[in-house]
Amino acid sequence: MPDSAMPYNLVEPVTFVCPPALAPGDRIVLGHGGGGRLSAELLRDIFLPLFSNPILDRLDDQAVLEIGGCRLAFTTDSFVVNPLFFPGGDIGSLAVHGTMNDLAMGGAQPLFLSAAFILEEGFSIETLRDVTRSMARAAREAGVSIVTGDTKVVEKGKGDGLFINTAGIGIVPQDVRLSANQAQPGDRVLLSGSLGDHGIAIMAGREGLEFETEIVSDSAPLHDLVQAMLSASTQIRCLRDPTRGGLASSLNEIAAQSRVSIRIEESALVIRDEVKGACELLGLDPLYVANEGKLVAIVAPEAADQVLRAMRLHPRGVDASIIGTIHEGRAGLVSMKTVFGSTRIVDLLAGDQLPRIC
């Protein structure tokens, strides 16, 4: 029974006139920090054009600099995590591990870190002591020294408690050349362990979730694992630690930089039950949840098995698996074969992944 009050006539052919798109905003939104498309746009539109140089343009997690015959890896990072303390770590240990891992992804032996603190007026000194103690312990256990730093204080209301900025340097052996632009068709994709532990550990506190077996952040230094892998093979093309934006973002970055496509298998991914449960509850996709103690490696096909073996022998790689392959063509496309055998695309999200209720 046609309703005469129909908003428009569907029988006649419609010319596709879509309303104009929202003009891009002129302000930074939270999504710009999410590690997804918005972050990439900031890089592409502001930082890269203005800072451009061959080293920066490679967009690796670290810059490898040739200085006086020595190859120095150099990186910087900022830590704004909230809550400051979470199961498995705190902003301090995260800062140390995160910076070291950026260096390790370049094949570097991390040596020295800097630590700059931006403190909000009113922040508890006891808490600062706790964070510092944690950083000192993390650095000691990992064999690095914090050799320089800075402290600033901002007025109450302008700082969210505590921000930490770090820089790190390390030495990269002459024969180690890792970069996100080196993936080649046929290469295999290796993942060192379970996905989503860190992001869910952080969310748990915020969302009032508790766990039977507590989900603990996987925040950990990976340089030792990397050394074990580099000792096993010289045919590792690239390493990445899938932090903000998760595994999906790292794979998209590699696919874009190397101008290849990547296909992974859902059945090869390791995800803890509690992480799966929390993701189900909040409507999150584990592929986009942050990790702080895992790495992705792109390895030549003939070396994949021996690298995998070396990883599995290491305490930080016991759950390592080969999760996919690099393909030619469709540059930048990351797809996943589902447990059903069908294919879905693993795209970059615009900003942060938002919990959904639908």
- Of the CA atoms within 13 Å of residue 125, those in its CB half-sphere come to 0
Nearer to other proteins, 90 or 266 (CB): 266
Window contacting other proteins (CB under 8 A); options: 7-15, 92-100, 120-128, 226-234: 7-15
Q: Order of strands, edge to edge, in the sheet holding 188-191? A: 236-240, 296-299, 188-191, 321-327, 261-265, 334-337, 343-345
Residues that contact other proteins, how many (by CB under 8 A): 63
CB atoms within 10 A of CB 57: 12
* 60: contact with other proteins by CB under 8 A: no
Shortest spacing between CB 336 and other proteins, in angstroms: 9
Which of 246, 239, 220 has the alpha carbon at shortest distance from 316? 220
| Dist CA 157 CA 64 (whole Å) | 38
* 80: contact with other proteins by CB under 8 A: no
Window contacting other proteins (CB under 8 A); options: 62-70, 153-161, 216-224, 344-352: 344-352
> Using CB under 8 A, which residues numbered 244 to 283 contact other proteins?
273-274, 276-278, 280-283
Sign of the CA dihedral with 222 first, then 224, 229, and 230 last = positive
CA distances from 248 to 40, 275, 292 (A): 14, 17, 14
Q: Are 284 and 355 in contact (CB under 8 A)?
A: yes
* 347: contact with other proteins by CB under 8 A: yes
> Using CB under 8 A, which residues numbered 139 to 158 contact other proteins?
none
CA distances from 315 to 218, 226, 228, 320 (A): 12, 12, 11, 10
Interface pick for other proteins out of 154, 176, 209, 270 (rule CB under 8 A): 209
Shortest spacing between CB 262 and other proteins, in angstroms: 13
Nearer to other proteins, 133 or 156 (CB): 156
Beta-bridge partners for 263? 325, 335
Nearer to other proteins, 5 or 125 (CB): 5
Shortest spacing between CB 343 and other proteins, in angstroms: 6
* 49: contact with other proteins by CB under 8 A: no
Shortest spacing between CB 34 and other proteins, in angstroms: 11
Beta-bridge partners for 21? none
Interface pick for other proteins out of 129, 140, 158, 344 (rule CB under 8 A): 344
CA distances from 217 to 123, 190, 199, 275 (A): 24, 21, 7, 11
Beta-bridge partners for 264? 324, 336
Shortest spacing between CB 10 and other proteins, in angstroms: 4
* 83: contact with other proteins by CB under 8 A: no
Nearer to other proteins, 326 or 349 (CB): 349
* 11: contact with other proteins by CB under 8 A: yes
* 63: contact with other proteins by CB under 8 A: no
Q: Are 163 and 95 in contact (CB under 8 A)?
A: no
* 1: contact with other proteins by CB under 8 A: yes
Q: Are 215 and 201 in contact (CB under 8 A)?
A: yes
> Using CB under 8 A, which residues numbered 17 to 36 contact other proteins?
17-22, 24-25, 27-31
Q: Are 72 and 65 in contact (CB under 8 A)?
A: yes
* 330: contact with other proteins by CB under 8 A: yes
* 331: contact with other proteins by CB under 8 A: no
Binding site for other proteins (CB under 8 A): 1-3, 5-8, 10-11, 14-22, 24-25, 27-31, 37-38, 207-213, 273-274, 276-278, 280-283, 330, 333, 335, 338-345, 347, 349-351, 354-358
